[in-house]
Amino acid sequence: MEATGKSSQLNKRKYIRHPAEIPIKFKLTGDGLSRTDTTRNISIGGLCFQAPEYIPPGTALTLRFPTVHPEVELRGHVVWCTEVKGVVDVGVEFENENEAYRARTIEEICYSKKFEGYFE
């Protein structure tokens, strides 16, 4: 399913998005199946990740970051989903400000790990 209006979503953003390739596990609320993919970007209000299939806006989900120890769990809901040429991008808004702050911390940890040993 291809959604339209992604450019209008870009214009309505409240927060600056930062590119971030962080491994992510996600589970739709009420679904026992956990899926793994990668974030594309993150902000204080939410994040975007790639998914294997379209997820309807409004869907609640749980996010985990397996490379961060101890593993952190965040909650949010899908605000937009687009599929272009077989790639599905999912935009998630965090449940509250506390979740957003924790996500930003995860981004910083992963970014630091990326450059670990670089200056040695």
Tell me what pLDDT residue 82 has.
94
86: burial class by Cβ within 10 Å (0-12, 13-18, 19+)? exposed
Contacts of 41 (CB under 8 A, 6+ apart): 17, 18, 19, 20, 47, 48
Retrieve residue 26's tokens: 């996600």
Q: How far, in Å, CA of 22 to CA of 103, rounded? A: 11
Tell me what pLDDT residue 28 has.
93
Tell me what pLDDT residue 1 has.
47
Q: Tell me the pTM.
A: 0.71
pLDDT in tens, the chain (120 residues): 444 445 444 445 565 566 678 888 999 988 878 888 888 887 777 889 999 889 999 999 998 888 777 777 888 999 999 998 888 999 999 887 776 666 666 666 666 555 555 555
Q: Structural domains in the chain?
A: 6-114 (2.40.10.220)
Tell me what pLDDT residue 55 has.
94
Tell me what pLDDT residue 116 has.
54
